[in-house]
Amino acid sequence: MDLKEFGQKLAKVRQSKGMSAYELSLRIERDPSYIHKVENAKMNVSLASLLRICKELDVKPEEVFMA
């Protein structure tokens, strides 16, 4: 899986939860454009950030990879 594919899957999960990229960025206390950058493969996500994202989306990490 490359960053672009991961970003697309993350976007799909986030959208299915009805949350904007902006809102999710703020919830994980990151720059307002952070999720947008991750979803567009312009930034790599750390494990710590991935776990925070999953917590806010109420999904298990594997769900982001299998979406």
* pLDDT recorded at residue 12: 95
* pLDDT recorded at residue 67: 60
CATH topology of domain 3-66: 434 Repressor (Amino-terminal Domain) (1.10.260)
25 close to 34: Cβ distance less than 8 angstroms: yes
* pLDDT recorded at residue 33: 93
Q: Residue 53: CB partners within 8 Å, gap ≥ 6?
A: 10, 24, 28, 35, 45, 64
Q: 14-40: per-residue pLDDT in tens?
A: 999 999 999 999 999 999 999 999 999
Q: 31-66: per-residue pLDDT in tens?
A: 999 999 999 999 999 999 999 999 999 999 998 888
